[in-house]
Amino acid sequence: RDGTVTGVQTCALPIFHVVECAGLVMGSPTRFGNMDASLKYFIDNTASEWMSAACVGKPFGLFTSTSSLHGGQESTLLSMALPLIHHGMIYVGIPWTEEALSTTTTGGTPYGASHVSWSREHELSGDETDLARALGQRVAEIAAKLAG
């Protein structure tokens, strides 16, 4: 793949990295409550991996960013989850036992990690950082358990 789709930069990650990984944490900025078009294009080109069941049983977690608090974080995370579930992958979210999920005033959902930029450059809040790390840790632990 040449990295472009009608002038749009596509995902730079070769599909074999997804096939070879023990677990996946994938992210995208929010575009009208949906994943970015370049990520959608990448996923749409994984039919042969779907047919061969190359990703079945692998855990995945998701992250996103929005410019406003109600900018579509959860719908974006779910839009990314659907094709991975079709691939037979195992969705790993953030449980309510993570204290930051109950106290955050910025990003973070049970569906995955998220960041709110407030329409300008903002660093991750403490809660956003804690939740992103917790998600990564959960995916890694589950991948290790599944690997035996």
Predicted structure pTM score: 0.88
Q: What is the pLDDT of residues 100-119, one digit of tens each?
A: 999 999 999 999 999 998 87
Evaluate whether 88 touches 55 at the Cβ level (below 8 Å): yes
Antiparallel, parallel or unpaired: β 90-91 and 8-9:
unpaired
Evaluate whether 128 touches 114 at the Cβ level (below 8 Å): yes
Check pLDDT > 60 for residue 14.
yes
Check pLDDT > 70 for residue 134.
yes
Question: Would you state the pLDDT for residue 12?
Answer: 55
CA atoms within a 13 Å half-sphere pointing along the CA-CB vector of 13: 19
Residue type, 38: S
Q: What is the pLDDT of residues 43-94, one digit of tens each?
A: 999 999 999 999 999 999 999 999 888 889 999 999 999 999 999 999 999 9
Question: Would you state the pLDDT for residue 20?
Answer: 87
Residue range 10-17: mean pLDDT, rounded: 62
Residue range 126-131: mean pLDDT, rounded: 95
What mean pLDDT is reported for the chain?
Answer: 88
Q: Which of 110, 97, 104, 140 lies closest to 125 in space, CA to CA?
A: 104
Residue range 13-41: mean pLDDT, rounded: 88
Check pLDDT > 50 for residue 7.
no
d(CA 68, CA 85): 27
Residue type, 17: H
Model confidence at 5, in pLDDT bands (50, 70, 90)? very low
3-state secondary structure 48-64: HHHHCCCCCCCEEEEEE
